[in-house]
Structure 1
Amino acid sequence: MNDENAPAHGIEADLPAIDFHSPGRFAIHNPETGGTIASSREPAPFILGDHSHLERFHTPEQAQAHTLALLQQATQSLCLFTPDLEPLLYNHGSVLDACTRFLLASPKNRLRILLRDPTRPVRQGHRLLQLAQRVTSNLHIRKLNPDNINEESAYLLADGRGLLLRPQPDLPAGYALYNDPGRARQQQARFDQAWDTSLLDPDLRSFLL
């Protein structure tokens, strides 16, 4: 599972580029029914802040396992950049439980979600939107400013050192880093810049209030 090569995206010149070749299209975008997958999920067996190898993945199941591992182990900060809260990855009971524990562990913990289009999760329902209705102080969801067209990927940041990145959001393929503060910091800067110009969409406002 270890691989020294993975996708390069938003990496500054002071860090070596990560080469990545997609194995093909897998259609990670989810069915219009918006249903969740009932099967249980297990997190990937890697430790946030300790595991130094880059982990490349290709399947939805691997993407789910790395996502859950980062969500369960974060203790300070989580940032999610997603096109539409991708139900295949995030609309699952294990994800809801991990995010709930994270938010309730400390009032200083913060989960920020930045998405391109809230129409689908608002219309079909989503567990993280329901959580945002209950935990309003440290879970924030906003819409990407349409003027910000430079970010094509989907990614998750955890505690300033963990990063899961998929260069093409309609594919499950990507890579996970569990202890790379340099790349996580650079991706965090991209997220913060997009967050500073983000919007509170009327659909989100009416749903969350």
Structure 2
Amino acid sequence: MSFIQQAPDLVLNKSSDTYLLETLEEFRCAIDHMAPQAKRHIKIFSQELDHDFYDRPEFMDALGPLFKKRRGFSVSVILKDPNKASKMGHRLVELQKRLPTRCEIRSLPREYGDMTDEYMIVDDQGMVKRFALGNMRGHCEFRAVPDAVKYGRQFDEIWGRSMPCTELRRLSL
């Protein structure tokens, strides 16, 4: 059975298999089935905030109910290169404008500039990881302990050293 067929049955912090992702459709499926299960937060580390992953109605429609139903729910994004999102626009940038205390995008500090992975962590329990920008290879785990915790700590460390992404804030003027 393919990952896309199995994804609707996967439960955050319960389904323990690792699934290899090799197509855009598989990545989208993983993101679209994991994100709505969030209770506290979604952390995204991205090279350029890929439009094919996060600038889609399916992903944004999953976030809306989370902000409404889950008090304190937040989305945190660390972005290496804001140029593409700045030039083309992005739904997460618009969300940041509407909910600045619950959705924030920050710039990757220079000392972390050699990082090439991309990932989404949900509640420090589930994780979708792409090995490099432009490469459609990665994996997802709906119960990714200890990796989600390890990457979550790394994300928090980088977040603490990062600054708000000024290139994207200019769009709101």
TM-score of the aligned structures, taking structure 2 as reference length? 0.91
Bigger strand fraction: 2
- Deviation of 1:208 after TM superposition, in Å, equals 4.4
- Deviation of 1:98 after TM superposition, in Å, equals 1.1
Q: Which amino acid aligns with 2:103?
A: L
Matches within 5 A, 1:23-62: 44-45=7-8, 46-62=10-26
- Deviation of 1:180 after TM superposition, in Å, equals 2.3
- Deviation of 1:42 after TM superposition, in Å, equals 9.5
Structure 2 equivalent of residue 184 of structure 1: 148
Matches within 5 A, 1:1-209: 44-45=7-8, 46-208=10-172
Identical residues among aligned pairs (%):
23
Give the distance between the partners of 1:73 and 1:208, measured in 2 at CA: 30
Q: Which amino acid aligns with 1:124?
A: M
Mean Cα deviation higher: 129-138 or 71-80: 129-138
Residues 197/2 of structure 1: CA separation in 2 closer, same or farther (3 Å cut):
farther
Give the distance between the partners of 2:165 and 2:108, measured in 1 at CA: 9
Runs of 4+ in 1 over 6 A off after TM superposition: none
Residues 4-38 of structure 1: CA deviation (Å, up to 9, x unaligned): xxxxxxxxxxxxxxxxxxxxxxxxxxxxxxxxxxx
Residues 33-58 of structure 1: CA deviation (Å, up to 9, x unaligned): xxxxxxxx999221112101111111
RMSD: 2.2
- Deviation of 1:197 after TM superposition, in Å, equals 1.1
- Deviation of 1:61 after TM superposition, in Å, equals 0.4
Give the distance between the partners of 2:160 and 2:112, measured in 1 at CA: 11
Mean Cα deviation higher: 92-101 or 59-68: 92-101
Bigger helix fraction: 2
Q: Which amino acid aligns with 2:155?
A: F
Give the distance between the partners of 1:105 and 1:150, measured in 2 at CA: 37
- Deviation of 1:115 after TM superposition, in Å, equals 0.5
- Equivalent pairs, count: 172
Give the distance between the partners of 1:42 and 1:94, measured in 2 at CA: 17
Residues 145/43 of structure 1: CA separation in 2 closer, same or farther (3 Å cut):
farther
Are 2:121 and 2:152, in contact at CA under 8 Å, matched by a contact in 1? yes
Structure 1: which 5+ residue stretches go unaligned? 4-40
Q: Which amino acid aligns with 1:101?
A: P
